[in-house]
Amino acid sequence: MAPRKIIIDTDPGQDDAVAILLALASPEEIQVLGITAVAGNVPLRLTARNARMVCELAGRTDVPVYAGCDRPLGRELVTAEHVHGKTGLDGPDLPEPTMPLQETHAVDFIIDSLRREAPGTVTLCPLGPLTNIAMAFEKAPDIMARVAEIVLMGGAYFEVGNITPAAEFNIYVDPQAAHIVFKSGCKITVMPLDVTHKALVTTPRNDAFRALGTPVGIAVAEMTDFFERFDKEKYGSAGAPLHDPCVTAYLIRPDLFTGRFINVEIETHSELTMGMTVADWWRVSGRAPNATFMGDVDADGFFALLTERLARL
């Protein structure tokens, strides 16, 4: 089967970096048309820089990287340096990127790609706030019908929130954008905290990355060394949750994940619960399903896949 064409929309972020590396290590299943950066974990200047650093780490300077929106649609930007460090990619000592940033705006790249490629052949993989995707849908509504699928990391039901008591970071940062995406009618698959909090980098799993002995394996181990301190302290968990790699792992091994096709609405009014993903897991609302909301992952299978693929870079 031909590899799936994808656009990775991202705010790297150590876990975004691992998600990108997994995609770039899997050319039989995934063809990365481009990487679009968005403001999120850190400001856009840094996410656009970090995305290129990750491509260079993978030896893939041929992958075009575009800068997109530098702030959410209708709110001030909220960032997460407290989790990811000052640069967003704290941990390993990686060189500044030398590959150029593309001149085209990320939103235009998303629109042009969906119009150029055959309908139903491009999958969007958002790993950060949904600002770029929503802007593209607002600017060019014709592209929504051409999207094959949106596989995104965001939201939570059982785990509720990580940036506020009610909301997950990616959705909280730009709830209006999330609302536009969840109303788009596109096929949507969601990796919420309910799944990603089960994909924990325990010490033996991180040792396995380090034991690869390659620049990629060592950098990934150092990224999770840094990133885990926050969640270990906050949740008392066994290691860092690899949120975003669940998206790219799903493209390769969907059988590792289970979930439900349900209705998901985004809270955009109440300040108290802003950005909450109101997921009708128990199917009590009578509202039409609009997303496959994942609930579980085979974590051992996920880490076996990740380690095996990172070894290829």
- List the catalytic residues: 243
Spatial CB neighbours of 300, under 8 Å, sequence gap ≥ 6: none
* Comparison of 33 and 83: residue with beta carbon closer to ligand BDR: 83
* The one-letter amino acid at 173: V
Looking at residues 64 to 103 of the shown chain, list those that interact with ligand BDR (rule: CB under 6 A): 80, 83
Total chain residues near Ca ion (CB under 5 A): 6
55 binds, options Ca ion, ligand BDR, none, Cβ within 5 to 8 A by partner type: none
Q: Can you tell me the distance from the alpha carbon of 282 to that of 189, in angstroms, rounded to the nearest whole number?
A: 17
* Comparison of 52 and 146: residue with beta carbon closer to ligand BDR: 52
- Rounded to the nearest whole angstrom, what is the least distance from the CB of residue 227 to ligand BDR in the complex? 9
* Comparison of 125 and 147: residue with beta carbon closer to ligand BDR: 125
Stretch that binds ligand BDR, among 12-20, 71-79, 218-226, 276-284 (CB under 6 A): 12-20
Which of 231, 244, 267, 280 contacts ligand BDR by CB under 6 A? Answer: 244
* Comparison of 97 and 126: residue with beta carbon closer to Ca ion: 126
Closest CA to 162 of 219, 240, 218: 240
* Comparison of 26 and 50: residue with beta carbon closer to ligand BDR: 50
* Comparison of 9 and 265: residue with beta carbon closer to ligand BDR: 9
194 binds ligand BDR (CB under 6 A): no
Are the CB atoms for 18 and 30 separated by under 8 Å? no
Task: State the binding string over 203-242 for ligand BDR (x if CB under 6 A, else -).
Answer: ----------------------------------------
Stretch that binds ligand BDR, among 30-38, 69-77, 167-175, 208-216 (CB under 6 A): 167-175
Which of 170, 184, 277, 292 contacts ligand BDR by CB under 6 A? Answer: 170
Looking at residues 113 to 152 of the shown chain, list those that interact with ligand BDR (rule: CB under 6 A): 127-128
- Rounded to the nearest whole angstrom, what is the least distance from the CB of residue 127 to Ca ion in the complex? 4
DSSP string, the chain: -PPEEEEEEE---HHHHHHHHHHHT-TTTEEEEEEEE-SSSS-HHHHHHHHHHHHHHTT-TTS-EEE--SS-SSS-----HHHH-SSSS-SS-PPPP-SPPPSS-HHHHHHHHHHHSPTT-EEEEE-S-SHHHHHHHHH-GGGGGGEEEEEEE---SSS--SSSSS--HHHHH-HHHHHHHHTS-S-EEEE-HHHHTTSEE-HHHHHHHHHT-SHHHHHHHHHHHHHHHHHHHHH--SSEE-TTHHHHHHHH-GGGEEEEEE-EEE--S-TTTTT-EEE-TT--S-PPP-EEEEEEE-HHHHHHHHHHHHTT-
57 binds ligand BDR (CB under 6 A): no
Which of 4, 9, 13, 256 contacts Ca ion by CB under 5 A? Answer: 13
Which residues contact ligand BDR by CB under 6 A?
13, 15-16, 41, 80, 83, 127-128, 153, 162, 168-170, 243-244
